[in-house]
Each structure stands twice: as structure tokens, then as C-alpha cells.
Chain A
Amino acid sequence: MNPNMTLLIISGVLFACGVYLLLERSLTRVLLGLLMLTNGANLLLLTTGGYAGLAPFFAKGTDPKAYSDPLPQAFVLTSIVISFAVTGFMLALIYRTWQLGRADEVADDLEDRRVAAQSGWVPEDDADVPEDLSEFVNREEAAAADRAALHSGRQKVHAQESLGQESLGEGELE
């Protein structure tokens, strides 16, 4: 069987234009692209049924070349109904997009943008580990730091105690 070249070429052109339109950001163009793609697929299905222009007729003894296969026509019919429904739904979606945002464009996923923009450093996960917690600290330095810390701690305690006594003294005076 030689397929009908005209139909195949038209189908190919529809696919090419459809893919081009599908890659646009405007929703109406995307919808037009989808329509072209579905029609291209329908034409392709139709060409699988045999010679163009013959009736889908079958009776015993008919020459196989004298009629076309009815099955792809049934397929095409189903696929037309489905694409009709989907087109209606897409139009409703586009209208709703327009209503909500006065825009006819494919919108960005905001959460996706946010995740992509975040740095790899998460404060909660990464900041828990203090930066100076190394096992290879110089011992003498560490001891000096400890003494200093202890000393300043004692000083603080003394200061607080004397403060407390003062306030206690004030209380007694009153």
C-alpha cells in the first residue's frame, strides 16, 4: 500500500507548526499548538486506513483495494471527541488565568523559584556545630582560655555578690 503523500506532508507540517506554537509562553498559542498537534495525529491515523477517498465498506468478496479500513476512522472519531473536550477545558483554564491575573502566560512556580534561590547553608542544620570545637586545639592555649574563662566567671560572681550585698545593705538601711 502506498500511503497518501499529501496527507502525510500536511500532517508533518501540522506537527512542526504545533511544536513551534507549544513552545511559546502565551497560553492561547499553546492551545493552538495543541490543536494543530492533535489534528496532525488524526491525519496520521487516517492515512493508516488505506487509500483516501474510498468508502469504509465491507462485504464478503469485495476487493481489498476497493474500500478503506473503517477501524482508523473509529479511532479518529474517538480522538476528535477527546481533543474537543480537552480544548474546552483548556479554554476555561485560559479564561480563568485571565480573570485571576490579567495574564495570558504560563506562570512560574513560585515555590520552585524560592527553593532554587535558597543557599545550601541552612541555619538550623549547619549552625548547631560551634566553629571552634576542634580536637586539635593547642593544649596550652586551651588551658589559658579555660583559666581566663574561670577567672572572669569568678569576677562576675564576686561582682554579683557585692552587688547583692549592696542592695541588701540598702534594704537594711530603709
Chain B
Amino acid sequence: MNLASLAPLAVVLPIIGAAVTFLLLRQERAQRIVSISVVAVTLALEILLLASVWGGGTIAVPIGQWIPPWGITLVVDQFSSLMLVVSSAVSLSVLIYAVSQGMADGDKDGPISVFHPSFLILIAGVSDAFLAGDLFNLYVGFEMLLTASYVLLTLGGTTARIRAGVTYVVVSVVSSLLFLIAIAMVYAATGTVNIADLAVKLGQLDPGTQTLLHTMLLIGFGIKAAVFPLSFWLPDSYPTAPAPVTAVFAGLLTKVGVYAMVRTETLLFPGEDLNVPLMTVALLTMVVGILGALAQTDIKRLLSFTLVSHIGYMVFGLAMSSVIGLASAVFYVMHHITVQTSLFLVAGLIERRAGSASIDRLGGLAKLSPLLALLYFIPAMNLAGIPPFSGFLGKLGLVQAGVTLGTPMAIAVVIAGVAVSLLTLLALARVWARAFWRSTDDAENPDAALLAPTHRGSMPGAMVGATAGLVALGLALTVFAGPLFTVSEQAAKEMLDRTPYITAVLGQQAPHPGVAQR
């Protein structure tokens, strides 16, 4: 039996886990054991999937033996399996963090028992979106993860979360609707929703129709990925949620949007007709996002703005439609999922240790808790792109790709990218200077927790351990950057070549649509 035929389990296992944890609503201990073990098993399975496609190869798994393009197909290739592994590793550490926090807090934050089923459904939705071989299944994956995220964002139903939840739900529903309308139009134009089949058929359409469909899909995904000017909902809604929820949203949800954009740009519409507009929005996303971050005083809000800003780098990478640009984008997505999530987890720890996440009210944390300072410092420097770290390597790849391309627009985005990198450093160093470096006496009306002589139990070991594990994963991305970049490059080559994907899904006799490479 082929190992890849187990791919559906990456979606099915979390759903079964969600059902079981839902039955165990009153037994929190059993819930914790079930959800952590389900995510761990899923992660192990996905590592096996990655191993089976490592170095090249695309495997299509038709569900229920319905032959493509009619049935639902799941497709495992290097890009999707890399995304699966990184997302599950991140979810596992966030889950451990959340469980430990829940155990430390008791039932203070409301119905924690609903947390586990929703979290598992979220993971199932993310996996489904990464594996989807047809547009409608991608839509269903999005809806699964979004519906779970609505519940997670409004956990406890406090005033602030309800306010944020309303905005978030309305914006998400509108983006899904745009996607659904785009699917309807694609189906009307071609009579299929299978991505491989569409890759063959979309190219034969009238150019005007192509541009319409292309733009509609990109707008739908752009809202989910928080690309400027469709990004205003994100800093508004994310910071109010509990720390682990914000962390997993920041790491995964926007990246699913980026993933869908990558698939659209490479498989469905390989042409270059929208590259310049994409580069423009990439530039604006970077600059507007980071300027927003500089104005914030709340650490979680500041991080949400840097999240928006760094989406711009990924969009820039895919907008160049060259192997090195796309490979850097793939690498950057992996780096950013890990680093951004660990920063949000650290922000949660700061809030617990010092009773506030506002940098005006913090001070002296480097002295009070050197471990916390280290946990903040490493991913912060990584995100800002200081040389040895993976953030630097990803940005270097993007800069190299931009300079190789050499069009005025690409050069402009490269310059903006370097400037934004410096501004990111400034924003994060501001947090460092205020919260960690200055004396505790300088903090404006500090919380009692910051001044308390003892702080037993404010940072449970498992929470720190989960955060440290994720920071270590970020460092591992730096250490193993060589092989990872090679595999990103292969993934990018395969995606731009398109034939491996199409023949894997439709069989050898599939018509060759031509190569997308410049």
C-alpha cells in the first residue's frame, strides 16, 4: 500500500478527535490527552507524507475511487506537505501551551471545554485547505477553519471579544462569499473545479474572462491573507483573543490565504498579467503594516501589525513568478509561521508575568525573568532579519530574486523590503527597550503582578517549554536552512513547471498546458 494514500487521515484524524473531545466535555483530563495525542499522531503522519515526496514527486489521492476530474482529489506535493508539517508542529506546541494555561487558570476564561473540539476542527480545516485538489474542497477547508476560528475568537463571550468577533465574522463571510462567487464563475466558464483540470482549461478562455476570474480569486484570498488594502480587519480582531488562540491564528490562518494565492498564481493563472499590481500591493502591505506597528503600545497589536507587514514579503515572492522568488516565498512562509507564532506565545507569557501587555506599563523584565527575555529576543531578531537567522536568509533570497528580475517595480519593492526590515527591528527593539531593558521604576502605573516580590506559578513550566520548543524550531529552520531551501527550490520548480501536478492528478495522457517559468 502506498503511504500517500493515508493523506486523508491528516483531515479525518482531527475531526474524529474533535468528535471524541466533544463527547468528553466534562472530563478535562481525558480531553487534553485525546487532543494532544491526536495532533501528535497527525504530525507524525505528515512527517511521513513529507518524507515520501521529499526530493520530488506529486501524489494524487482520489477519494472514494472517483476518478479525477470528477471526484474529490487530495494532492500531496512538496509545498503542501511542508506546509502541513510546519502547521502541525506549530499547532502542537500551541496546544500544549493552551492546555498548560488552562490547567493553571482553571475555568477563569470561560468554557475551556469547547476549546479542544474547536481547535481540532481548525487543524482539520487547515490540513484540508493545504491538501485540496479542487477549488470547492478548498472552499470547504476554508469554511471549516473559519467556523472553528469564530468560536475560538469569541471564547468566553466578553465585551471586547464579542466586538472583535462581529467584525471578524462579517469580514470572513464576505471573503468566503467572494470566493464562492468566483467558483461559480469558474465553473460556468469551464465546467470543472478540479485545479489540475482548470490549469489545462483556463488558458483556453478569453483573456478578459481570465483576468476577471483571476482578480476575483485573488481578492477572495487576499482578504484571508490580510493583504493591504484588505488587511484592516486583522489588527482589529486578533489581539483580543486568548494568547494561544491569537498565536495559532497569526501563524496559520493568513498563511492558508497565502498558500491559496500561490496555487492560483502558479497553477491556475501562470501568466504575468497581474504581477505588477501584486508587487504594488506587496509594497503597500509592507509599508502600511509596519507604520501601523510603530504607532502601537500594546504588544499583541504591534505584533498583529508586523504580521500584516510581513505578508507583503510573501506576496512579493510569488509575484515575481521566478524559481528563486517563489522558493524564497515558500521558505519565508515556513519561517514566518514559526517565528510569528512564538512571538505571540511570548506576548502571552509577558502578559501573565507582568499583568499587562502594554509597553508603557512594563519594565525591567530582563532582570526579573532572563529566560523570558531570551525567548523574546531570539524570535524578535529572527523576524527583523538579523543575519544568522532564517528571517535574514528568506529576505536575502527575495532581494536576490528582485534584483535578478530587475524591473523598476521589483527594485522599488526590494528597497521597501529592506527599509521595512529595519523598521521591524525598530518596532521590536522599542518593545525590548521598554518592557525588558529599562528599570521597573520607569513603568507607568505598572500592574501589581510586575512589582510582586514572588511570582510563583505565573509562568507554568509547560507553557515556557512549549514556547521554547517553538523558538528552537525557528532556530532549526536557520540551522537546516540549506536542505530546506533546496527543497523549497524544488517545490517552486515543480509548481512553475505545472506538469508534475497535472499528470499526477489527470494521468499521463493529460494535455500539456505549457510552462509558467519566465
A residues neighboring B (CB under 8 Å): 3, 22, 27, 30, 34, 37-38, 41, 44-45, 47-48, 71-72, 75, 78-79, 82, 85-86, 89-90, 93-94, 96-97, 100-101, 106-107, 109, 111-112, 115, 118, 124
* A86–B169 touching, CB < 8 Å: yes
With A86-B147, A100-B159, A115-B296 already in contact, the answer to whether A48 and B173 are too (CB < 8 A) is no
| 10 closest Cβ pairs, A-B complex | A48-B188, A45-B184, A107-B163, A44-B184, A48-B187, A82-B143, A41-B180, A100-B159, A96-B162, A109-B236
> Contacts A101-B159, A109-B163 hold; do A86 and B173 have CB atoms under 8 A apart?
yes
Shortest Cβ gap from A42 to chain B (Å): 8
Kindly state the separation between the CA atoms of A115 and B165 in the bound complex, as whole angstroms. Answer: 20
- In angstroms, Cα B177 to Cα A71, docked, is 18
Query: Which residues of the other chain, B, contact A109 by a CB distance below 8 angstroms?
Result: 163-164, 236
> Is B437 located at the chain interface by the 8 A CB criterion?
no
Knowing A111-B301, A115-B297 touch, does A37 contact B177 (C-beta < 8 A)? Answer: yes
Q: How far in angstroms is the closest Cβ of chain B from A74?
A: 9
Kindly name the residue among A94, A111, A112 whose own CB sees the greatest number of chain B CB atoms within 10 A: A111
Query: Can you name 14 A-B pairs with beta carbons within 8 Å?
Result: A44-B184, A44-B185, A45-B187, A47-B188, A72-B184, A72-B187, A75-B183, A90-B169, A93-B162, A94-B166, A96-B157, A100-B159, A101-B159, A111-B298
Interface residue count for B (Cβ, 8 Å)?
39
Q: Is B181 an interface residue (CB 8 A)?
A: yes
Question: Interface SS of chain A: helix, strand, loop or mixed?
Answer: helix
B54 within 8 A of A: no
Chain B positions 234 through 250: 1 when the CB is less than 8 Å from some CB of chain A, otherwise 0: 01100100000000000
Task: Please measure, in the bound complex, the distance between the C-alpha atom of A115 and the C-alpha atom of B294, giving whole angstroms.
Answer: 11
Bound-state CA distance A3–B189 (Å) is 12
Chain B residues with CB under 8 Å of A78's CB are 136, 140
CA distance A48 to B184 in the complex (A): 7
Cβ contacts under 8 Å, A34 to chain B: 170, 173-174
**A71 proximity list for chain B (CB < 8 A):** 187, 193
- Report B132-174 CB contacts with A as 1/0, cut-off 8 Å: 0000100010010001001100100101001111110110011
Q: Residue B374 at the A interface, CB < 8 A? A: no
Residues from chain A with Cβ under 8 Å of B176 in the complex: 82
Main secondary structure of the interface of B (DSSP, over half): helix
Q: Closest A-chain residue to B160, C-beta based?
A: A110
A38 touches B147 (CB 8 A): no
Q: Would B181 and A93 count as touching, CB distance under 8 A? A: no
Neighbouring A residues of B6 by C-beta, 8 Å = none
Instruction: Mark B residues whose CB is within 8 Å of A.
Output: 136, 140, 143, 147, 150-151, 154, 157, 159, 162-167, 169-170, 173-174, 176-177, 180-181, 183-185, 187-188, 193, 235-236, 239, 295-298, 301, 434, 442
Q: Could you list 16 further interchain pairs (A-B, Cβ under 8 angstroms) beyond the known A41-B180, A75-B184, A97-B163?
A: A22-B174, A44-B185, A45-B184, A79-B180, A82-B147, A86-B147, A89-B147, A89-B169, A93-B169, A97-B166, A100-B162, A101-B159, A107-B163, A109-B163, A109-B236, A115-B296
Contact B169 A41 (CB under 8 A): no
List residues of chain A with CB within 8 A of the CB of B162.
93, 96-97, 100
How many A-B contacts if CB must be within 8 Å?
86
* List of A residues within 8 angstroms of B188 by Cβ: 3, 47-48
Bound complex: CA of A27 vs CA of B162, how far in Å? 12
Residues in B with CB closer than 8 Å to A41 are 177, 180-181, 184
Which residues of B sit under 8 angstroms from A30, Cβ to Cβ? 170
Minimum C-beta distance from A7 to chain B (A)? 12
| Least Cβ–Cβ distance between A158 and chain B, in angstroms | 34
What is the CA–CA distance of A115 and B187 in the complex, to the nearest angstrom? 45
**A86: chain B residues within 8 A (beta carbon):** 147, 150, 169, 173
A15 to chain B minimum Cβ distance, whole angstroms, is: 9
A169 to chain B, nearest CB (A): 39
Taken together as a complex, chains A and B put the C-alpha atoms of A101 and B163 apart, in Å, by 10
| Minimal beta-carbon separation of B332 from chain A (angstroms) | 28
Q: Are A27 and B166 in contact (CB under 8 A)?
A: yes
How distant is the Cα of A72 from the Cα of B187 in the complex, in angstroms? 8
Instruction: With CB as the reference atom, state the residue of chain B lying closest to A108.
Output: B163
Q: Which A residues are CB-close (under 8 A) to B150? A: 86, 89
The 8 Å CB contact of B154, one of A72, A82, A93, is A93
B302 to chain A, nearest CB (A): 10
A96-B158 Cα distance, complex, nearest whole Å: 9
Known: A37-B177, A78-B140. A106 touches B167 (CB 8 A): yes
B133 to chain A, nearest CB (A): 15
Residues of A within 8 A of B164 (CB): 109
Whole-angstrom CA separation of A72 from B295 in the bound complex: 47
Instruction: Return A103 CB to nearest CB of chain B, in Å.
Output: 10
Taken together as a complex, chains A and B put the C-alpha atoms of A22 and B169 apart, in Å, by: 12
Decide if B180 touches A45 in the complex (CB within 8 Å).
yes
Q: What chain A residues lie within 8 Å of B193 (beta carbons)? A: 71
Which B residue sits closest to A82, measured CB to CB? B143
Q: Which residues of A contact B177 (CB under 8 A)?
A: 37-38, 41
Give the nearest-CB partner of A112 in chain B.
B236
Chain A residues whose C-beta falls within 8 Å of the C-beta of B235 in the assembled complex: 112
B residues within 8 A CB of A37?
A: 174, 177
Report the minimal beta-carbon distance from B148 to chain A, rounded to whole angstroms.
11
B174 touches A93 (CB 8 A): no
